[in-house]
A and B are shown apart, each in its own frame.
Chain A
Amino acid sequence: MAGFLGGYSAGNYNFGIMVVWILWWVMLMFVLVPGFARAWCMVCPFPIFSDWFQRRRLFGVRQGKPEGLGLKWPKPLKNMWIMNIGFLVTTFFSGFFTVKPFSTFVLLGGIILLAFLIGLIFEKRSFCLYVCPVSGFQGLYSQFAASEIRRMKPELCQQHKLKTCYLGNESGYGCPWMLMPFDFKKNTYCGMCLECFKSCPYDNMGFFLRPPGVDLLTDTPREPRRLDEAYKAFIMLGIAMVFFLSMQGPWGVLKEMVRGANLKGWLAFISLHTFFTLLVIPGVFFIFVYLSKLFSGNKVVSLKKVFIDFSYTLVPLGLGVWIAFSFGIILPNGSYLLHILSDPFAWGWNIFGTANFPWTPVFTGILGYLQGVTLLIFYLFSLEYGFRLSKQIYPDLNQARRGWIPILVFLTLVTIFFLWLYLG
Chain B
Amino acid sequence: MRKKELIAVILVIFSTLGTIFGIFALENYRKKKFYTIELIARAPEHGNWYPRKITVPLGKEVKILIRNIETVTHGFAIPDLGVAVPEIKAGEVRVVKFTPDKKGTFPFMCTVWCSEHHLNMRGELIVE
Chain A interface residues toward B at CB < 8 A? 1, 6-14, 57-60, 99, 343, 345-349
| Of the residues B8, B92, B93, B95, contact of A58 by C-beta under 8 Å | B8
Interface assignment of B120: CB less than 8 Å from any CB of chain A: no
B90–A343 touching, CB < 8 Å:
no
A8–B1 touching, CB < 8 Å:
no
A10–B93 touching, CB < 8 Å:
no
Report Cα–Cα, A57/B7, bound state, in Å. 12
| Of the residues B12, B46, B90, contact of A13 by C-beta under 8 Å | B90
Q: How many contacts between A and B, using CB within 8 angstroms? A: 60
CB-CB under 8 A from B90, the residues of chain A are: 7, 9-10, 12-13
Interface assignment of B111: CB less than 8 Å from any CB of chain A: no
Q: How far is the CB of A345 from chain B (nearest CB, A)?
A: 7
Report Cα–Cα, A250/B95, bound state, in Å. 36
Report Cα–Cα, A59/B12, bound state, in Å. 12
Report Cα–Cα, A343/B93, bound state, in Å. 9
Some 18 contacts from A to B, beta carbons below 8 A apart, are A1-B20, A1-B23, A6-B67, A9-B46, A9-B69, A9-B71, A9-B90, A10-B69, A11-B71, A12-B91, A13-B92, A58-B5, A59-B4, A346-B67, A346-B92, A347-B30, A347-B67, A349-B30
CB-CB under 8 A from B9, the residues of chain A are: 58
Report Cα–Cα, A316/B27, bound state, in Å. 47
Interface assignment of B65: CB less than 8 Å from any CB of chain A: yes
| Of the residues B4, B23, B95, contact of A348 by C-beta under 8 Å | B95
| Of the residues B1, B20, B91, contact of A7 by C-beta under 8 Å | B91
CB-CB under 8 A from A13, the residues of chain B are: 90-92
CB-CB under 8 A from A58, the residues of chain B are: 5, 8-9, 12
Q: How far is the CB of A50 from chain B (nearest CB, A)?
A: 15
Closest residue to A1 on the B side, CB-wise? B20
Report Cα–Cα, A343/B30, bound state, in Å. 14
A60–B1 touching, CB < 8 Å:
yes
Closest residue to B94 on the A side, CB-wise? A348
CB-CB under 8 A from B8, the residues of chain A are: 58-59
- Secondary structure at the A interface, as helix, strand, loop or mixed, is loop
Report Cα–Cα, A349/B65, bound state, in Å. 11
| Of the residues A14, A99, A348, contact of B67 by C-beta under 8 Å | A348
Closest residue to A58 on the B side, CB-wise? B8
Interface string of B86-103 (1 = CB under 8 A from A): 000011111100000000
Report Cα–Cα, A346/B91, bound state, in Å. 7
CB-CB under 8 A from B94, the residues of chain A are: 348
| Of the residues B12, B23, B95, contact of A345 by C-beta under 8 Å | B23
A348–B91 touching, CB < 8 Å:
no
Interface assignment of B124: CB less than 8 Å from any CB of chain A: no
Known contacts A13-B90, A57-B5, A59-B5; A7 and B69 CB within 8 A of each other: yes
Report Cα–Cα, A346/B70, bound state, in Å. 11
Closest residue to B67 on the A side, CB-wise? A346
CB-CB under 8 A from A8, the residues of chain B are: 69
A10–B20 touching, CB < 8 Å:
no
Report Cα–Cα, A349/B31, bound state, in Å. 11
Report Cα–Cα, A110/B122, bound state, in Å. 39
A346–B12 touching, CB < 8 Å:
no
Report Cα–Cα, A331/B27, bound state, in Å. 32
Q: How far is the CB of B18 from chain A (nearest CB, A)?
A: 13
B71–A347 touching, CB < 8 Å:
no
Report Cα–Cα, A346/B40, bound state, in Å. 11
Q: How far is the CB of B94 from chain A (nearest CB, A)?
A: 8
Report Cα–Cα, A99/B90, bound state, in Å. 12
Please indicate which of the listed interface residues A1, A13, A345, A349 has the most CB atoms of chain B within 10 Å of its own CB. A13
CB-CB under 8 A from B68, the residues of chain A are: 10
Those of B1-17 within 8 Å (CB) of chain A: 1, 4-5, 8-9, 12
